[in-house]
Homo-oligomer: A and B are copies of this chain.
Amino acid sequence: MKEMSELLKRNPLFSGLDESGLAKVKEITSPHSYKKGSILFSQGDEAHGFYLVSEGKIKIYRLSPNGQEYVMRIVGPGETIAEAAVFSGKTFPASAEALEDSRLYYLNKADFTALIRESPQLALNMMTGLSLLLRELAQQVEDLSLKEVSARLARFLIEEAEKISSIPANGLEIPLEMKKNLLASRLGTIGETLSRTLAKMKQREIIHIKKDIIIIRNFEILKEIAQGIKL
């Protein structure tokens, strides 16, 4: 299990806090464990607090009334979940499910709010965190309005590539780290279409597929596709 202080510092929400600040945060956290497949909370549940992921992977998703699932984020160690729900004073806007056996720290809403009233720094961090989330979501909204799946997939691959290497080059290996069906849902499509799109890209020698690893062969064309040029 990861050391908690380290975890806290890694999250921008708590960075810049002094030792006493960190200690106070620690005081109000409680550890929770979730088995793979279990639901942390569901869309519409009362939001009583939020979570800091310690180990594992959490899927944040929304279910539309007719049962369709859209995956908003996949959250890993060091990241927080449902920060926003705490302050909106309403229910969770999305559901969360553990994709693996996971450990999380839980922060109670009332306790955390009290802490914020004492610490302007924590408040500012929180706002920065929320703003960044907002920016990310805005990006996703734009991605979704990119009508072609190929464009969304290309954008996803580029983003992943940039996470791995700041100057991505051809030959870069990108591990998918999730089931293809999940990725499909993350891209706003379904498994079959993703499969076909990947196949087309492979055929045009833009990428190479080795199991769950995508190897980029032509970064330039990938960028063009992400910008809406037809595949």
Contacts and interface: CB of A to CB of B under 8 A. Distances in A.
Interface of A: 62, 64-66, 68, 70, 72, 83-90, 93-94, 113, 116-118, 120, 123-124, 126-128, 130-135, 137-142, 144-146, 188, 226-229
Nearest to A121: B117
Contact of A123 (B123, B142, B188): B123
A85 B127 CA distance: 10
Contact of A133 (B86, B134, B146): B134
Q: Determine the main DSSP class of A at the interface with B.
A: helix
A134 B87 CA distance: 11
B116 A124 contact: yes
Contacts of A94: 138
B134 A65 contact: no
A135 B88 contact: yes
A132 B88 contact: yes
Given A141-B72, A227-B66, A84 B124 contact: no
Contact of A131 (B88, B120, B141, B226): B88
A70 B142 contact: yes
Given A116-B123, A138-B72, A141-B70, A146 B64 contact: yes
A134 B130 contact: yes
Q: Which of A66, A89, A90 has the most CB of B within 10 A?
A: A66
A127 B124 CA distance: 9
Given A135-B93, A144-B144, A227-B65, A113 B124 contact: yes
A127 B66 contact: no
